[in-house]
Amino acid sequence: MTDMEKEFDNFVRDIRFDDTSDYNHRDKLEQNLLTVLDKQSQHKSQALVIWRIIMRNRIIKYTAAAGIVLVIIIGIIELAKPVGASIAFATAMDNIKKARTFSCMEIFEVGYQDGKKEGKYLLKQKWMFKEPDKERHESLTSPWTRFIGETTIMDYGKRQMLQFRPVDKTAEFHDMSSDYEIDDKTGEVRLTQLDTSLRDRLLELRTGAVEDHGNVELEGRTVRKLQSHKDTRTTTVWVNPKTNLPLQIEHKWANQNRSPIIFTSIQIDTELRDDLFSLEPPKGYTLRMEKSAWPDDKARIGAKIMRLGLWCWVYAGNNDDQFPDELADIVRAGVITENVLNKVLAAPDNPDGPPVFQYRKPNTDAKDRSNEVMLYEIYDQWPQDRVVACFADGHSELIPVQTLIQLLKPWPEYKKNLSIKMTHLHWLCDKYTKKHEGRYPGALEDLVGEEFSDETIKRLQAAPDKSEGPVVIRYRLPYTDANLATEVMFYEIFDQWPDDGAAVCFADGRCEIILDQNRFEELVK
Amino acid sequence: MDENSGLVIQACSDKAAFVQLYHRHYDVIFRYCAHRLFDRTAAEDVTSEVFLKMVENIYSFRGTEEQFSCWLYRIATNAVNQYLRRMNRRNRLFRAACEKSNEVVADCEESTEKLILLKEGVLTLKPRYQTIITLRFFENLKMNDIAEILGSSPGTVRSQLARALVKLRAKMSIGETAQSAGGSKDD
């Protein structure tokens, strides 16, 4: 306590309030509350069910080696506004609204990039949820074998998540206590929750022409086909003619580059076994406990920056892959309101304050969008630690400040990527020196331990486009009493002097391309 | 903060669990409202509002059992602030509270004078400062807990507490001076 707090505490210590509970009031209130609770229970059996139909944009994984590539969505879901429908159409949608459980398969074409390899594949994923707080997601297809069948189970009540992969029988258990998201309506940061608001994007269809295409065959049975149009999008619903329950829903756009999105095998209010949402990994799996790599305050920042990134993606999806020139463009385009944008741009503990993020229109011609910074935290004075950045491929990372500085430089791509790896290694060495009384690691093998494996260190030393290849970055133990700004700690190794110079990283974390070979040899001797 | 192992989840569907949860938190919330409003009738009204809101939203509560208490405090803080704004009764409340405290605490004159001074000071602060003062000194919560209730960082709460105390000190010093000079505001 400060002196002033002690002074006040002493002052109020013997003050007596009239604050003794009246048990008559307490008991009467209890009866009223139980009555309300009863009424709510009856209502809940037909309660509105919220269902995530749009793919969750969880392109979030951080990897030190940058070996895992992130999915680039071509078919961006349009954030639909209410359209309305004919009675049959509305009834079909209404049945979704009333479901307590929901499951469906979602299918659409997606592009991907993995180093130099890129292509498209048909993404198929199964969604299911059980109110109030359980969700399950299965990736049925993937361009990477390891992720085929990957299943994620989220329990928002317990704030825990289990993810497992049948291909290699591995599983991770995550603590979600610092898992945050943004409320699209208010721009506020909140803990993640079962996302039921997305149901509205399917259900709120603007009043428009609804065509009844009569009975058609779908997977061997007779169903009724209805269609609704909004701008360039056509929504088709195949409905069970007896129950009016939707069996399949398709969104299709006139733009040929935009993949249709199909929701099929729709099941409403069916029994979903509890074990589908169990947080116990399957038998025989190797389980690893994953702690959040992000401190809580950075997790909140991360939620904001990822949301901003997603909105930029939505804008690009609607504008022929052109990102906004400035963030105000996403307001003008109607993606979000100005008020929400301002809230998200502000610091988590100061929602009415000034922006703490900087937007940078990404270079969409860059080969590797995963290194193209689009949004980053800004400071009056840069912190010694890490900052959050969002990249043009949609993923976000917590990276050392020097890495961000390198990413923002207009260097040739190879040198830039090399220097990014060097700054990562520098940051690891910096952590090491803090734990070892200012002593640098004798060799990079000294860094191997709980947090980082030998494999991670080797990947960081390898060429940017050959993560499994030979080492091209060498470590040089700096003299601790030397000027850190001129003491080289990492440098590029080569067979022949490169025409565009050699990249080095100094002990103060700053990187430079040395064009003069003599100077380079002097620095690294 | 108390831990209610599994009780929150059970309370969504089990009446006995709900009653247990309610009983665990009723006194705490009522006292908090009484300390904010300086009036027990108003405190009872607001306490009712808080628990009604709790019932309406308990199904959508997402958090650990520890966070449930913070959540209730948050609801209570908003309810108290709304009450004060809605009724616009700060001055009437102050006068009524003074009269009542004079009746109830007649045997402890020093406490009464301090209470009057405190009310006069606290009720003129902005709601956020009132909340922080009350949670810190009357609910004895830690900075981290207060920060969670208010959705701020502990650092922000600490600096706001310091500012609140400075303002309070200035107001209460002025109040003391006015009283010792020969009369209260109500004379």
Quick one: pLDDT at residue A3?
A: 86
List the structure tokens of A239.
Answer: 């409905």
Q: For chain A, which residues lie within 8 Å of any Cβ of chain B, measuring from their own Cβ? A: 2, 4-5, 7-9, 11-12, 14-19, 21-22, 25-26, 29-30, 32-34, 36-37, 40-41, 44, 132-133, 156-159, 177, 191-194, 297, 349-350
Cβ pair B15:A4 closer than 8 A: no
From A141's Cα to the closest Cα of chain B, the distance in A is: 31
What is the distance in angstroms between the CA of the first residue and the CA of the last residue of chain A? 55
Q: Could you tell me if A48 and A196 are in contact, meaning their C-beta atoms sit under 8 angstroms apart? A: yes
Please name the member of B19, B40, B156 whose beta carbon is closest to the beta carbon of A30: B19
Using an 8 Å CB-CB cutoff, list chain A residues near B38: 17
List the structure tokens of A10.
Answer: 């002493």
Q: Could you tell me if B97 and B118 are in contact, meaning their C-beta atoms sit under 8 angstroms apart? A: no
At residue B47, does pLDDT exceed 90? yes
Cβ pair B138:A17 closer than 8 A: yes
Query: How far apart are alpha carbons A327 and A163 in whole angstroms?
Result: 35
Q: Render pLDDT for A152-163 as a digit per residue (tens, 0 to 9).
A: 999 999 999 999
Cβ pair A14:B51 closer than 8 A: no
Half-sphere exposure of B129 (CA within 13 A, CB side): 17
Quick one: pLDDT at residue A44?
A: 46
* Phi, psi for A243 (deg, rounded to 5): -100, -15
| ipTM, 2 dp | 0.79
Query: How far apart are alpha carbons A442 and A392 in whole angstroms?
Result: 37
Closest residue of chain B to A296, computed from CA coordinates: B153
Closest residue of chain A to B113, computed from CA coordinates: A15
Task: State the average pLDDT over residues B36-52.
Answer: 91
pLDDT under 70: residue ranges of chain A: 40-99, 113-117, 196-209, 256, 293, 366-368, 380-384, 450-451, 480
Look up residue A505 and give its amino acid.
C
Q: How far is CA B132 from the centre of its chain?
A: 9
Cβ pair A37:B55 closer than 8 A: yes
| CB-defined contacts A:B, below 8 A | 113
Q: Could you tell me if A176 and A161 are in contact, meaning their C-beta atoms sit under 8 angstroms apart? A: yes
Q: Could you tell me if A361 and A316 are in contact, meaning their C-beta atoms sit under 8 angstroms apart? A: no
Matching CATH number, B1-88, of 3.40.50.720, 1.10.1740.10, 3.90.1150.10, 1.10.10.60? 1.10.1740.10
Task: State the average pLDDT over residues B146-155.
Answer: 88
Quick one: pLDDT at residue A445?
A: 86
Better-predicted residue by pLDDT, B84 or A47: B84
Radius of gyration of chain B (CA): 18
The domain limits of chain B are 1-88
At residue B78, does pLDDT exceed 60? yes
Using an 8 Å CB-CB cutoff, list chain A residues near B22: 30, 33
Please name the member of B18, B38, B63 whose beta carbon is closest to the beta carbon of A191: B63
Average pLDDT, chain B: 78
What is the distance in angstroms between the CA of the first residue and the CA of the last residue of chain B? 43
Cβ pair B38:A22 closer than 8 A: no
Q: Which of A13, A23, A25, A30 to mutate to test the interface with B (most CBs of B within 10 A)?
A: A25
Q: What is the helix (H) or strand (E) element at residue A109, kind and residue range?
A: strand A101-114
What residues does A162 pair with on adjacent strands? Answer: A153, A173
